[in-house]
């Protein structure tokens, strides 16, 4: 054991002496590994970030909420035209579910439009105006920072009141309390009841804070016909009840929409689960393809290492001969060159991580990720493995050299 | 008394294109402990080939080689490496030192492969370096040393494992006469201390240090004789200082 350790120490000393003796060449050789490690770690970081962003966004949908819409989430198959021609989901269906469902904890219709909002001289353009019911907080899981959401009375009565997203609040009311103030949404006056907590964005695409929420009955009067397409959110009493709730809601909807028993559903009941499935398939493919492509650059880097190790073995044929002549067994020579190759790659890996880390911080600004420690550890491990694999053939050749031939080599 | 080296009918052939080169062609030699043998012969007569086989760097095409009564003629690579490490001290014409390592490390190297621990290694290596008179150059690299000094380092490296035989293939071939004489005095001293020495040379003067002379020609043994008029040198110690 002691013997192996001394041999290993000797191998390390030789490797670093050799690398130091050929600084320029070593650096150029490791470049391939550097690039490989940078791309693989960044790809790993990005995939991790995508995953986290998705999970965070998807949690907003709530695992116990059903979304009744014309369009299904995920795979639509070839039915695009059929779906397109479906009857809209209407407010009447929301009312029917509310009336007949026993399993639903909360039912809430929602629809939206884009409008400009004014307060005094201040203008915010293209804010998403959500027309919804008073159960919004229950079905969306969003929370109010201060003030309140409109109640059932105000909602059903279509009162001109609103609750506003944190970004809208910050833009219109930089230094005053918005609650009680009257703002103009698309030209109509609304009294602000409350301000939402900051929510961020959904899948990194659409800010959830640049929104205002008004009673849907008011929305139908001022922004859109009550016959237009909406979505209905149904919160089950618990996740365990979700499937039963879904069946019950399906029955109610079929009846509400006057479907004959043999006709297929002309609506979609969406849920978080569907998106997760879709994401897992797509995400898995993206990850596999991405890692494969970036892995290729690591492979090319490995070939570069193999090449230079062959050069190194040839250059040091005589040294190998000397070592063998004074009693170095094959194993020792093999180990020596494997260590050199692994050390070269490890250096490349470390440089790669040093380069990739600041870039990962840039990625962090649009995806919630930082280079995970696991990626760093794996990257270093991978570079050592690449080194051992690409060094093996040259090292094996070195270990098999005939001592007399090696000593004669000029 | 059994011999340290027993070579029986050793041949070594090389296939060069169509032609078969008989580097050694049926050589039989016995060498006893503490002998001092000079192997001579014209260039291409098979001297180095014989040395490489005796030194276990190479294996014969046919014939039997027993070293310390052990048959080494058909050992594998790793077994031979072990024999080279423990039993053989090799001194080369071109020194064959590791250019990037200092004197101490060069001398220490066989002990590393022999599995000796670091403290013991340093002690033995320093002792060997002292015996060849290079203690004050212990941390020099080979390119900071003269030819004679380099050859002393390689002798120290050959000695450090206390091998059964010291083999030297034209050890003075790359040195001027004066330096060559100094190296030969070192060999004389080592022989007096009880070492078995075999050296290859084509200089009659150098061969006169030995007790026995073997002449090869075309891979065959031509002469094997005792040397009567040995050269007598002054005490090596004075030269060593
Ligand atoms: N590897 C080899 N391949 C072919 N021929 C060789 C090889 N090594 C030695 N020989 C030949 O064997 C003969 C003896 O060589 P060598 O032992 O080196 O002679 P010496 O050392 O006496 O000059 C020479 O004719 C040489 O050309
Ligand atoms: Mg020769």
SS3 A306: helix
Residue A341, pLDDT > 90, answer: yes
Confidence category of residue A81, pLDDT binned at 50, 70, 90 = confident
Tens-place pLDDT, residues A6-24: 778 888 888 888 888 888 9
Q: Please list the ranges in chain B whose pLDDT falls under 50.
A: 236-241
Residue A26, pLDDT > 70, answer: yes
SS3 A35: helix
**First-to-final CA distance of chain B:** 38
What pLDDT is stored for residue B58 in this prediction?
93
On average, the pLDDT of chain A sits at 88
What pLDDT is stored for residue B237 in this prediction?
44
Which conformational region is residue B162 in: left (phi greater than 0), alpha (psi within -120 to 50 degrees), or beta? left
Which chain B positions have a beta carbon within 8 Å of A407's beta carbon?
57, 92, 96
Answer whether A327 sits within 8 Å of B57, measured CB to CB: no
DSSP A130-197: EEE-TTHHHHH---EEEE----HHHHHTT-SEEEE-HHHHHHH-SSS--TT-EEEETTEEEEEEEEEP
CB-CB: which of A322, A327, A330 is closest to B114?
Answer: A327
Please check whether residue B180 is in contact with residue B233, taking contact to mean a CB–CB distance below 8 angstroms: no
What pLDDT is stored for residue B232 in this prediction?
62
Spatial separation of the C-alpha atoms in residues B187 and B91, rounded to whole Å = 11
Tokens of A38: 């940078």
Q: Where are the domains of chain A?
A: 2-57+277-408, 87-266
| pTM across the whole model | 0.76
B43 lines ligand 1 (CB under 6 A): yes
| CA angle A155–A157–A162, rounded 5-degree value | 45
Q: Region A239-243: what's the mean pLDDT? A: 83
What pLDDT is stored for residue A49 in this prediction?
81
Ligand 2 centroid from CA B48, angstroms: 4
Strand partners, B213: B38, B225
Q: Region A293-303: what's the mean pLDDT? A: 90
Answer whether B57 sits within 8 Å of A404, measured CB to CB: yes
A156 shares contact with chain B (CB less than 8 Å): no
What pLDDT is stored for residue A302 in this prediction?
93
Interface mutation vs chain A, best among B59, B83, B98, most A CBs within 10 Å: B98
Complex ipTM? 0.93
Confidence category of residue A204, pLDDT binned at 50, 70, 90 = low
CB-CB: which of B55, B100, B113 is closest to A328?
Answer: B113
Helices then strands, each counted (H, E), chain A: 14, 12
Interface mutation vs chain B, best among A325, A336, A396, most B CBs within 10 Å: A325
Please check whether residue B16 is in contact with residue B64, taking contact to mean a CB–CB distance below 8 angstroms: no
Residue A61, pLDDT > 90, answer: no
Which chain A positions have a beta carbon within 8 Å of B52's beta carbon?
404
Answer whether A325 sits within 8 Å of B100, measured CB to CB: no
What pLDDT is stored for residue A56 in this prediction?
76
Spatial separation of the C-alpha atoms in residues A23 and B141, rounded to whole Å = 20
Residue A142, pLDDT > 90, answer: no
Which chain B positions have a beta carbon within 8 Å of A327's beta carbon?
81-82, 84-86, 110, 113-114, 161
Q: Which residue has the higher pLDDT, A238 or B103?
A: B103
Answer whether B96 sits within 8 Å of A325, measured CB to CB: yes
- What is the distance, to the nearest Å, from the Cα of residue A243 to the centroid of all Cα atoms in its chain? 28
Helix axes B103-113, A2-21, angle to 10 degrees: 140
What pLDDT is stored for residue A1 in this prediction?
52
CA distance A9 to chain B (A): 10
Tokens of A357: 């880390």
What pLDDT is stored for residue A306 in this prediction?
95
Query: Residue B6 has what DSSP assignment?
Result: E
Residue whose CA lies nearest to ligand 1 atom number 16? B46
Q: Which of B4, B2, B7 is nearest to B224 (CA)?
A: B7
Residue whose CA lies nearest to ligand 1 atom number 20? B44
What pLDDT is stored for residue A313 in this prediction?
95
Tens-place pLDDT, residues A162-179: 999 999 999 999 988 999
Ligand 1 centroid from CA B173, angstroms: 17
Spatial separation of the C-alpha atoms in residues A96 and A86, rounded to whole Å = 19
Ligand nearest to the CA of B216: 1
Q: Region A380-389: what's the mean pLDDT? A: 94
């Amino acid at each position: 054991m002691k013997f192996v350790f001394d041999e290993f120490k000797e191998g390390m000393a030789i490797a670093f002496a050799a690398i130091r003796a050929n600084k320029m060449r070593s650096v150029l050789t490791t470049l391939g590994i550097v690039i490989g490690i940078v791309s693989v770690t960044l790809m790993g970081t990005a995939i991790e970030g995508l995953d986290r962003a998705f999970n965070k966004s998807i949690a907003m949908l709530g695992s116990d909420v059903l979304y009744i819409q014309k369009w299904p989430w995920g795979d639509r198959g070839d039915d695009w035209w059929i779906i397109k021609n479906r009857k809209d989901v209407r407010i009447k269906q929301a009312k029917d579910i509310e009336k007949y469902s026993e399993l639903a904890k909360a039912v809430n219709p929602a629809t939206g439009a884009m409008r400009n909002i004014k307060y005094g001289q201040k203008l915010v353009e293209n804010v998403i105006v959500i027309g919804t019911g008073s159960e919004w907080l229950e079905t969306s899981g969003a929370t109010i920072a201060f003030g309140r959401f409109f109640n059932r009375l105000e909602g059903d009565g279509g009162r001109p009141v609103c609750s506003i997203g944190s970004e809208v609040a910050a833009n219109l009311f930089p230094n005053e309390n918005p609650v009680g103030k009257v703002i103009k949404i698309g030209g109509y006056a609304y009294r602000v009841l409350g301000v939402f907590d900051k929510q961020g964005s959904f899948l990194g695409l659409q800010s959830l804070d640049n929104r205002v929420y008004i009673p849907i009955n008011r929305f139908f009067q001022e922004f859109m016909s009550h016959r237009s397409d909406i979505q209905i959110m149904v919160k089950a009493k618990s996740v365990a009840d979700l499937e039963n709730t879904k069946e019950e809601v399906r029955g109610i909807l079929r009846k509400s929409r006057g479907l004959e028993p043999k006709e297929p559903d002309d609506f979609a009941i969406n849920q978080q689960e569907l998106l997760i499935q879709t994401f897992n398939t797509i995400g898995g493919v993206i990850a596999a393809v991405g890692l494969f492509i970036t892995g290729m650059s690591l492979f090319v880097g490995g070939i570069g290492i193999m090449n230079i190790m062959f050069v190194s073995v040839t250059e040091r044929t005589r040294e190998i001969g000397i070592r063998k002549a004074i009693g170095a067994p094959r194993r020792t020579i093999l180990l020596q060159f494997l260590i050199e190759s692994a050390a070269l790659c490890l250096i490349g890996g470390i440089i790669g991580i040093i380069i990739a880390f600041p870039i990962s911080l840039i990625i962090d600004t649009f995806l919630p990720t930082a280079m995970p420690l696991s990626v760093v550890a794996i990257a270093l491990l991978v570079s050592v493995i690449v080194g051992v694999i690409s060094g093996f053939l040259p090292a094996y050749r070195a270990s098999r050299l005939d001592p007399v031939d090696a000593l004669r080599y000029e | 008394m059994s011999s340290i080296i027993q070579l029986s009918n050793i041949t070594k052939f090389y296939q060069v294109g169509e032609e078969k080169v008989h580097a050694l062609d049926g050589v039989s030699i016995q060498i006893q402990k503490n002998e001092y043998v000079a192997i001579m012969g014209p260039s291409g007569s098979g001297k180095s080939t014989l040395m490489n086989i005796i030194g276990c760097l190479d294996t014969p095409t046919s014939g039997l080689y027993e070293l310390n009564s052990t048959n080494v003629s058909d050992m594998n690579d790793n077994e031979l490496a072990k024999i080279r490490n423990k039993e053989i001290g090799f001194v080369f014409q071109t020194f064959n030192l590791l250019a990037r390592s200092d004197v101490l490390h060069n001398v220490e190297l066989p002990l590393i492969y022999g599995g000796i621990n670091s403290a013991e290694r340093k002690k033995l290596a320093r002792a060997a370096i002292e015996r060849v008179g290079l203690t004050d150059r212990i941390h020099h690299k080979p390119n900071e040393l003269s030819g004679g000094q380099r050859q002393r380092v390689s002798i120290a490296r050959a000695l450090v494992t206390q091998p059964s035989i010291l083999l030297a293939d034209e050890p003075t071939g790359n040195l001027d006469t004066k330096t060559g004489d100094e190296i030969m005095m070192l060999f004389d001293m080592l022989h007096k201390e009880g070492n078995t020495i075999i050296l290859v040379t084509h200089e009659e003067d150098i061969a006169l240090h030995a007790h026995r002379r073997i002449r090869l020609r075309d891979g065959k043994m031509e002469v094997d004789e005792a040397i009567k008029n040995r050269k007598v040198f002054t005490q090596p110690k004075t030269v060593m200082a």
